[in-house]
Amino acid sequence: MIREEVLDSFTSKNILVTGGTGLIGRQVVDILGPTGANIKIVSLDKLKINQDIEHVFGDLTDFDFCKVVCSDIDYVFHIAGIGASVKAAKEKIASHFVPMLMMNTNVLEASRLNKVEKVVYTSSVGAYEHAEIFRESEYKLDSIPMDFAGWAKRMAEEQVYAYKVEYGLEGYAVVRPSNVYGPGDNFNPINSLVIPSLIYRIYNKDDPVIIWGDGSAIRDFVYSKDVAEGIIQALYYGTRSGFVNLGSGRPCTIRDLAETLQSFIDFNYVFDSSKTTGASKRIMDISLAKEMIHYDPLTEIEWGLKETWDWYKSHPDEHKVKFNYFDQ
Task: Encode pLDDT of 24-54 as tens digits.
Answer: 999 999 999 999 999 999 999 888 888 889 9
pLDDT of residue 328 exceeding 60, the answer is no
Q: How confident is the model at residue 89 (pLDDT cuts 50, 70, 90)?
A: low
Conformational region of residue 72, where left means phi above 0, alpha means psi within -120 to 50, and beta covers everything else: left
Q: How confident is the model at residue 192 (pLDDT cuts 50, 70, 90)?
A: confident
Distance (Å) of CA 113 to CA 72, 81, 242: 11, 22, 22
Domain annotation covers residue 103? yes
At 266 the three-state DSSP class reads coil
Each residue of 240-275: pLDDT tens digit?
A: 879 999 999 999 999 999 999 999 999 999 999 988
User: What values do phi and psi take at 66, rounded to 5?
Assistant: -60, -40
- If one counts the domains in the chain, the total is 1
Q: Are strands 218-219 and 252-253 parallel, antiparallel or unpaired?
A: antiparallel
Q: What is the pLDDT of residue 266?
A: 97
Average pLDDT, the chain: 92
Half-sphere exposure of 75 (CA within 13 A, CB side): 25
Q: How confident is the model at residue 96 (pLDDT cuts 50, 70, 90)?
A: confident
Q: What is the pLDDT of residue 194?
A: 94
The parent domain of residue 273 ranges over 7-327
Q: Is 298 exposed, middle or buried (0-12, 13-18, 19+ CB in 10 A)?
A: exposed
Q: Which of 303, 302, 304, 287 is nearest to 247 (CA)?
A: 287
Q: How confident is the model at residue 150 (pLDDT cuts 50, 70, 90)?
A: confident
Average pLDDT over residues 64-87: 88
Distance (Å) of CA 12 to CA 7, 25, 109, 238, 283: 11, 19, 24, 20, 38
Radius of gyration of the chain from its Cα atoms, rounded to whole angstroms: 19
Domain annotation covers residue 1? no
Q: How confident is the model at residue 323 (pLDDT cuts 50, 70, 90)?
A: confident
Domain annotation covers residue 114? yes
Domain annotation covers residue 271? yes
C-alpha angle 307-309-312 in degrees, rounded to nearest 5? 105
Domain annotation covers residue 2? no
Domain annotation covers residue 246? yes
Contact 284, 247 (CB under 8 A): yes
Sequence letter at residue 327: D
Contact 187, 251 (CB under 8 A): no
Contact 203, 267 (CB under 8 A): no
pTM here? 0.95
CATH number at residue 237: 3.40.50.720
Distance (Å) of CA 38 to CA 3, 41, 74, 75, 131: 20, 10, 10, 10, 40
C-alpha angle 184-190-193 in degrees, rounded to nearest 5? 50
Q: Is the dihedral of CA 289, 293, 298, 302 positive or negative?
A: negative
- With b meaning 16 or more CB within 10 Å and e meaning fewer, what string describes 152-173? bbbbbbebbbebeeeeebebbb
